[in-house]
A and B are shown apart, each in its own frame.
Chain A
Amino acid sequence: MKDIIRTFLRRPAGIVGLVLLGLVCLMAVVAPLVYPASPWEMTGIPFSRPGENGMLLGADTLGRDIASGIVHGARVSILIGLASTLTALCIGVLLGCISGYAGGAVDAVIVRFTEIFQTIPSFVLAILLVAILTPSIGTIILAIGLVSWPPLSRLTRAQVRTVAQREFVQAARCQGQSTLSVVVRHVLPNAISPIIVAGSLTVAAAILIEAGLSFMGLGDPNYMSWGYMIGSGRTVIRQAWWMSVFPGLAILLTVVAINLVGEALNDALNPRISRA
């Protein structure tokens, strides 16, 4: 464990990512303290430029504070990113484990099912799900989770299969340990690190999908989100660049931060590659 942290900290990119991510999380936590008013409230003059009328990043077409929207939007992005990844991990890891360890017909069916789900254009399915189930935080999380699990399932299956064939697992079976004990104590611990890394990258992808959904007008109407801000500023981009530029930068930085952390994690957890 100590080694893992040490390797992680030796990567400057990982530290940059961690700091950025920390800032975004901090923003999400302190949002109600810094901007106690709802980000939907029209507090200023429409089309205020950044810095004008006491608005750090300007106001949108209805006079809502962009800075407030960005700070509050961090909450939605982080929440949806984590919750939908968790959903995807639950489905993907469970199916992948069963498929990889059981083999045979069970495996064949699950693999086929996963393949089909991987063919489906996931963003379009997410749109369809949210549109039909009506947009809310819950349906958005569910939809993103439902379209994000196939790569995790494939990865888990591949990992479990490789590890399960390793001789120490066979030796554990011959030692008389129960199947559950073999899977939980020997297979998973040795298979898990790429899955953790893929999970962290899934958070980034989920944040991008959420942004896309709210850009299309499928966000939860009760929560301000970055994608929504860009979507509503889109039509006036010729007059008011700031309405789209700042929320986009927020998404970009958050996703870059998570990807950097994920990569550093990868190097730390898979020492074989980091040595090369």
Chain B
Amino acid sequence: MTETLLAIENLVLGLPDGADRAHAVDGISLTVNANEIVCLVGESGSGKSMTAHAILGLLPNKVKALNGAIRLSGRDLLQLSPREMRALRGGEIAMIFQEPLTALNPLARAGAQVAEAIRTHDPSANAAAVDGRVQELFGQVGLPDPATLSAAYPFQLSGGQRQRVMIAMALANNPRLLIADEPTTALDVTTQRQILDLIRSLQEKRGMGVLFITHDIGVVADIADRVIVLRHGRVVEEGPAAEVLSAPREDYTRELLDAVPGRGAVRKAESREAPLLEIKNLQKVFTTRQSFFATPRRVVAAENINLVLNRGDTLAVVGESGSGKSTLARMVLRLIEPDGGEILFDGAPVNAMGREALRQFRRRTQIVFQDPYASLDPRLKIGESIVRGPMAFGTPRSDAEAIAKRWLERVGLGAHALDRFPHEFSGGQRQRICIARALALDPICLIADEAVSALDVSVQARVLQLLAELKAEMGLSMLFITHDLRVAREIADRIVVMQHGRIVEQAPAAELFDTPRADYTRRLLQAVPGREFFASRERAGAAV
């Protein structure tokens, strides 16, 4: 019989007046036992993070628990005095957060921040003992050279290292319950994989209960013993992970599973068409220098990049942060000037284009950016944002408006969107608007720079679907920049893998997935969350 560690009973969290709904969380009940990982999965607005914060009493000021109970070994945490709550925080219950960049105090040394957690709960501990314990914890979370790293400041550590420090801090007082709020979302896939493995192994060693918040079903498949699916502040479905994932009872769960990209058959082949975009020997180094005398810091964004996009094809450029993939997209459009090398569009060198030629080229090669909130001028109506493109090329306003209307309808928003402002739309809708804006210029090439990365999976799936349809209709060629191999697999004919500004491998999509040649590609593939689960699901599906 396993011990029930945490039991949330019918929890209701009220939002302040004027929010889009009355309750962030509306009657959630769940349990976490000792020695198991429970995943709370849901899209944005599902209330998963609020639930996690409610346990430790860390809710934002205006959010209040209106009803229900949160019991830790029977004790209702909502009824505790601030003092009793403090004793639990970082003691029996510890928490790690999403943003390793901001979650640590930038002005204090990493080791000192962990030591503080120990001393807070054991004021009598002597300095040497605390120090020894910090080093030990740093070792346990896999930080190399604990002595040096504990003396480092957060800005001197990488994102993965910071998250390890956070974990060390959380484990400092041997908590019985660990709450992890999207702890790997801000990390690159390979780092995510390491952190997930670390959490899993520490949980097993210590027999902790872990409540793991995530939006990624793949992560759930990798790490969960049990899973709870949330939507709009309510529990949709729960059960052992294996059951829920392989035989979901609810439609929503099934939708979430189906929306995960990169499961279908890999696209068969590239076209044999002539090249539209050729990149030869492209070079770019960013140098930043603090002062004239300081040694400049060099970041290589592109080193001997060679690639070809054939007409009608989709070429995906995949890489982790700092790989230079976004710089590449911007260099193609000359939003950033390369240091050297050649970009040929339809045989014409882009680098040599004068102002008017560049304008004409940009008309035919349009771009959709990552952040749907920064991509539209907040002060302009949607219609105005779209018509300015065609009008810049001499289309009369009335015709441009007709074009805008047609494209808005095509991307599924309807003409009434014309007179509305960006803030009235959701992220997915804005991304559709951006696509309409790009296509209103009637381009033959589309660059998508992480165009679906900021979206929830279900929205992401629909936008990818739209892009695929448009591409087929218009015979577009596409340069698709992404950090997510699963998305690349969904949409690309050919894939280029980049690391530190270099191409480590490029191959037709099918070949890359079946027989990856570069080490780094293999690491990326292995790091994809839920890889094994989805592979087995695929085989099962094929068998039916």
Interface residues in chain A, defined as those with a beta carbon under 8 Å from any beta carbon in chain B: 166-178, 181, 185-186, 189-190
In the bound complex, residues from chain A placing their C-beta under 8 Å from that of B359 are: 176
| Bound Cα distance A167, B377 (Å) | 9
Partner of B375, one of A168, A173, A181, A190: A168
In the bound complex, residues from chain B placing their C-beta under 8 Å from that of A174 are: 333, 335, 362, 366-367
Closest B residue to A186 by beta carbon equals B377
User: Are A167 and B375 interface neighbours, CB within 8 A?
Assistant: yes
Interface residues in chain B, defined as those with a beta carbon under 8 Å from any beta carbon in chain A: 330, 333, 335, 359-360, 362-363, 366-367, 369-371, 374-379, 385, 388-389, 392-393, 434, 437, 441
| Bound Cα distance A169, B434 (Å) | 13
In this complex, the member of A175, A177, A178, A189 whose beta carbon has the largest number of chain B beta carbons within 10 angstroms is: A175
Partner of B377, one of A172, A176, A178, A181: A172
Q: For chain A, what secondary structure do more than half of its interface residues adopt (helix, strand, loop), or is it mixed?
A: helix
Report the 10 A-B pairs with minimum CB-CB distance, sorted nearest first.
A175-B389, A167-B369, A176-B392, A167-B375, A168-B377, A167-B374, A176-B359, A174-B362, A177-B392, A166-B374
In the bound complex, residues from chain A placing their C-beta under 8 Å from that of B335 are: 170, 173-174
Tell me the minimal C-beta distance from A184 to chain B in angstroms: 12
In the bound complex, residues from chain A placing their C-beta under 8 Å from that of B366 are: 174
User: Are B375 and A176 interface neighbours, CB within 8 A?
Assistant: no
Partner of A171, one of B360, B375, B379: B375
- A-B contact list, 23 entries, CB within 8 Å: A166-B374, A167-B369, A167-B371, A167-B374, A168-B374, A168-B377, A169-B377, A170-B335, A170-B367, A170-B369, A171-B369, A171-B375, A171-B434, A174-B335, A174-B362, A174-B366, A176-B362, A176-B363, A176-B441, A177-B388, A177-B392, A189-B379, A190-B379
| Bound Cα distance A202, B175 (Å) | 55
In the bound complex, residues from chain A placing their C-beta under 8 Å from that of B434 are: 171
Q: How many A-B Cβ pairs are below 8 Å?
A: 56
Closest A residue to B363 by beta carbon equals A176
In the bound complex, residues from chain A placing their C-beta under 8 Å from that of B374 are: 166-168
Closest A residue to B389 by beta carbon equals A175
Closest A residue to B393 by beta carbon equals A176
| Bound Cα distance A168, B405 (Å) | 20
In the bound complex, residues from chain B placing their C-beta under 8 Å from that of A185 are: 388
Tell me the minimal C-beta distance from A206 to chain B in angstroms: 30
User: Are A171 and B362 interface neighbours, CB within 8 A?
Assistant: no
In the bound complex, residues from chain B placing their C-beta under 8 Å from that of A190 are: 377-379
In the bound complex, residues from chain B placing their C-beta under 8 Å from that of A169 are: 377
Tell me the minimal C-beta distance from B393 to chain A in angstroms: 6
In the bound complex, residues from chain A placing their C-beta under 8 Å from that of B392 are: 175-178, 181
